[in-house]
Amino acid sequence: MNRINKLFENRKKKILSVYFTAGYPELNNTLEIIRELDKSGVDMIEIGMPFSDPVADGPVIQRSSEKALKNGMSLNLLFEQLPALREITDIPIVLMGYINPVFRFGVEKFLRKCSETGIDGIIIPDLPVEEYIESYESLFKSYNILNVFLVSPQTPEERILYLDRNSKGFLYIVSTAATTGGTKKFDRSQINYFRKMDDLNLKTPRLIGFGISDKTTYEQACEYSDGVIIGSAFIKSLDEKGSLPEKIHRFVRTIR
């Protein structure tokens, strides 16, 4: 069984997934960040594949992506860093990024490398679902890699149900039409949107992302989903004072 499916089968609520950009703050921090996140008790980790034009990301993640690229991060290097991944953690690991670097790398080669290094899932916001189903679903299945779909406040109900029917992992519920970044709390329209998702009785587990920045927003989002994804707030914490392990453990303690 894929580790993502196992996670949702064994832990029903308050899942915490943390995102960071590969190659940030330093080029070779990838495995150390994963090791410390695992020790801190997070349930899943998303590794961002830096890209020169991350249109869905807010300024914090954009800056981390720019710095990672300047540091020399690439898909080739990321996969060179990951062979020891499963020696340090057994929690689900997801890669998140944009389709152009994957196309340049080669889709099947990319999936094979994911399988070899122990990656469990992929989130590619700009890969159309229909194109995925028609051209790549069988490849993903052959390498046991789950493709995660995104739902936003603008997604029609019929489309949400379609994504739910075709999902094998979890749905990434984007909390806002804006780019990534923290907020103090969710407004009424966002809460109504979360409730609407609840009312649809979807079969697929849901994680809410975008705007989760502290314990308050974590707890609030968990009321309407299986858990959350935190990115920008965590990346900000990596710029604070202290050693890398200190910063990571301190951040996770502030969330739960």
Q: What is the pLDDT of residues 55-83, one digit of tens each?
A: 667 899 999 999 999 999 999 999 999 99
Which value, to the nearest 10 degrees, does the dihedral of the CA atoms of residues 213, 218, 221, 224 take?
170
**d(C-alpha 74, C-alpha 141), whole Å:** 25
Whole-structure pTM value:
0.94
pLDDT at position 53? 75
pLDDT at position 145? 98
Neighbours of 120 (CB within 10 A): 23
Catalytic site positions? 46, 57
Q: Tell me which residue range forms the domain holding 56.
A: 3-255
pLDDT at position 55? 64
Residue 12 has pLDDT above 80, yes or no: no
pLDDT at position 31? 97
Burial of 40-55, coded b for 16+ CB within 10 Å and e otherwise, reads bebbbbbbbbbbeebe
Residue 133 has pLDDT above 90, yes or no: yes
What is the number of structural domains in the chain?
1
CATH code of the domain in which 35 resides: 3.20.20.70
pLDDT at position 176? 78
